[in-house]
Structure 1
Amino acid sequence: MDFELSDEQRLFRQTLRDFADKEIVPVAPEWERTGRYPAEIVERLRELGLFGLNVPEEFGGLGADRISYALAFEEIARAWLGAAGLFGPHSVACWLVARNGTPEQKERLLPRMASGELRSGLGLTEPGAGTDLQGIATTAVRDADHYVVSGTKTWITNARVAGMLPVLVKTGRAERAHEAMSVLLVDTSAPGFTVTRDLPKLGYKGPETCELVLDEVRVPVEDLLGGREGRGLQQVLNGLEIGRINIAARAVGVAQAAYDAALGYSRQREAFGQPISGFQAIQLKLADMATEIQAARLLTYWAAAKSGAGGGRVDLEAGMAKMHASEVAIKCALESMRIHGGYGYSAEFIVERLYRDAPLMAIGEGTNDVQRLVIARSLLSGNGRLGW
């Protein structure tokens, strides 16, 4: 049992940390406040190869191990959650193609996705179907060598910049709903594909989050992910496991940023003739925050390691990591605000942004109540085991 990062992983983390501290932290407050799109950060993410985290080396990607994958999102989210969103859904889309794509789909798409030339996201959620993906209404009707796709998707991150979007659709009818579901790799420049609006958000500024309409969009049959109908829900659920590790790591980054801000402020702020870090009430908060963050980090790395080792689904591990880490992020953001006192409520301090960003992780990639059900079902089925 080894709780140490490898030399390569430590170097990777340090590279990302230096980049985040020098190029994201200084601009994040102003860009987040004004809604400025972080094009410069996107370019640096491309240069660092982060769009290719989940792309095998043979297709020009980093082929990163799962721990490094988690480290990337932890370090970038620590600087700005919005910056992590620029390549978060994209990395899951890369995994979907790399894991499920036909040889032709991999050759055609993955090199461009790895370089960031072709960016992507996930077209899953609909106005009437969030948690219940089997309730989607978007349809794809076969017409010779094309599918004709009609429907609406919402809460789609990076929809305006994506050149290709994996879209979950119903390709037929079946007694069991999941058997009628497929994923199409939709070219966003196709006629009938329209991004109708950007959705207003409490936090998670930077990447756009949109509603889009597919009005009889014609998608070539060769863009059916994997080349087989009826595999869509299985493909997506496997991808969401990777997404939950991504979200857990982002939550650890946000929690760490909240702790760092609280620790620094407690050392500088004086009351009654001494730094407030000298008061036991503050020390207790800092101790609780640090302990819970480290527990969340270890859960995340555990889930990442189990996922990277292969051998099947990691519903239990990814669900635990995502649920716990996101709750820790919310708690730490609030505790940090309390340590800051009135200044924590000011937009001039980072804590206010963290407080707005943190709730997203408890909702995205399946709400935490859903994660609890996933964990319980895994335990009750006998497929989930605690311990190492």
Structure 2
Amino acid sequence: MYQLPEEHEELRAAVRALAEKEIAPYAAEVDEQERYPVEAARALTEAGFNAVHIPEQYSGQGADAVAACIVIEEVARVDASASLIPAVNKLGTQPILLSASEELKKLVLPSIATGEASASYALSEREAGSDTASMRTRAHLDGDHWVLNGTKCWITNAGESTWYTVMAVTDPNAEKKAHGISAFVVHKDDPGFSVGPKERKLGIKGSPTREIYFENCTIPENRIIGEPGTGLKTALATLDHTRPTIGAQALGIAQGALDAAVEYVKERKQFGQSISQFQGVQFMLADMAMKIEAARHLVYTSAAATERGDARATFLASAAKAYASDVAMEVTTDAVQLFGGAGYTRDFPVERMMRDAKITQIYEGTNQIQRMVMARQLLKK
């Protein structure tokens, strides 16, 4: 039948209970102080929810893509910053899972699965955001080591992560720029690696975003992911698997805002009655819930498509990310409206949710890029 298996619903209940008890009480403070959500990191790790996607042979849970989305969704429902712990662990390790040698998988993945380490993903540069093939970070082989030079920006959880999956140009003279890019795994303690100051952001303030620097950064030869020149191919394949997780994050933010709005309008009285009795308010709530439900099905469908190697996985990943993030922005904006003046204050969570929602329309490919990806997939036929 067309429904999630019982084990997925049990997972949702477990993550929601943990999020309500261990993460939600700190969410406002984490945002206000712009600090890493250490309580969430500890709780997620102790419960085994920090990187559920890692296969069992690397000490992981071996959860499927839909399960990973449910974890991210339920954490984002109370704190979007905290949801980036499991989300970015998946983003940082997915290239390794897709293309790395068995030796490299065994080096990196177990420590992330157990929570001893975490991962970040380094693709973007200041002048190479949507146009990733124009990156300037370089890597060259020097004996039995690779040497990296350059700067990556907008790196989520930089400074907190242990491992960094990094894309760099290894053949600047390649006939196609995309064929001259390779992928590497860099450890925070590798010589020549450093991180910059935190960006001052609108939202997800509990998740640090920094530049990372490579100044003759030296790593062992076996830390390349796949063959030289296949890095961008791996990066794009990774996004098919991880764009649904951003959809899941957006979905969780939207659900959290709707839940808060429903509770508030039931209690708020004007003109001698609860404002939940006004048709205008009811129509807003109905539209919010309808869009969330549609987004949820699209996110889960896109995640499942990556599991089975569906030919439409690329289209569905972009559709899920774009639609769910647009819905999150609409729903959180409407939630603030339903709270009225109170919604514009930090006494209630919806203003934080509105600020947090915005980034989901931007990172892992702007929604304009998602629409280009979708259109190209359609026109291939």
Cross-structure match for 2:28? 29
Q: Which amino acid in 2 is paired with 1:28?
A: A
Matched, 1:225 2:235: no
How many residue pairs get matched?
380
The CA deviation at 1:313 is 6.1
Cross-structure match for 2:99? 100
Relative distance call for 1:195 and 1:313 in structure 2 (3 A) is farther
Cross-structure match for 1:291? 290
Provide the rounded CA distance (Å) in 2 between the counterparts of 1:210 and 1:57: 32
Q: Which amino acid in 2 is paired with 1:32?
A: D
Provide the rounded CA distance (Å) in 2 between the counterparts of 1:285 and 1:311: 36
Provide the rounded CA distance (Å) in 1 between the counterparts of 2:212 and 2:200: 14
| Contact 1:137–1:151 (CA under 8 A) maintained in structure 2 | yes
**Over residues 330-362 of structure 1, what are the superposed CA-to-partner deviations in whole Å (9 max), with x where a residue is unaligned?**
000111111111001001110110111111000
Cross-structure match for 2:204? 204
Provide the rounded CA distance (Å) in 2 between the counterparts of 1:15 and 1:75: 10
| Contact 1:61–1:111 (CA under 8 A) maintained in structure 2 | yes
| Contact 1:54–1:95 (CA under 8 A) maintained in structure 2 | no
**Over residues 56-83 of structure 1, what are the superposed CA-to-partner deviations in whole Å (9 max), with x where a residue is unaligned?**
1111111111111110111000010000
Matched, 1:10 2:4: no
| Contact 1:190–1:218 (CA under 8 A) maintained in structure 2 | yes
Cross-structure match for 2:139? 140
RMSD of aligned Cα (Å)? 1.1
The CA deviation at 1:39 is 1.4
Provide the rounded CA distance (Å) in 1 between the counterparts of 2:131 and 2:49: 31
Cross-structure match for 1:182? 182
Relative distance call for 1:313 and 1:295 in structure 2 (3 A) is closer
Q: Which amino acid in 2 is paired with 1:234?
A: K
Relative distance call for 1:87 and 1:28 in structure 2 (3 A) is same
| Contact 2:41–2:50 (CA under 8 A) maintained in structure 1 | no
Cross-structure match for 2:159? 160
The CA deviation at 1:37 is 2.3
The CA deviation at 1:87 is 2.5
The CA deviation at 1:46 is 1.1
Larger displacement relative to structure 2 (371-380 or 184-193): 184-193
**Over residues 12-35 of structure 1, what are the superposed CA-to-partner deviations in whole Å (9 max), with x where a residue is unaligned?**
110000001111111111221112
| Runs of at least 5 residues in structure 2 that lack an aligned partner in the other structure | none
Matched, 1:322 2:321: yes
Provide the rounded CA distance (Å) in 2 between the counterparts of 1:297 and 1:135: 34
Cross-structure match for 1:57? 56
Per the normalisation by structure 1, the TM-score is 0.96
The CA deviation at 1:201 is 0.5
Provide the rounded CA distance (Å) in 2 between the counterparts of 1:244 and 1:315: 9
Secondary structure class of the residue paired with 2:119: coil
Provide the rounded CA distance (Å) in 2 between the counterparts of 1:198 and 1:187: 19
Per the normalisation by structure 2, the TM-score is 0.98
| Contact 1:52–1:63 (CA under 8 A) maintained in structure 2 | no
| Runs of at least 5 residues in structure 1 that lack an aligned partner in the other structure | 383-388
Paired residues for 1:255-270 under 5 Å? 255-270=254-269
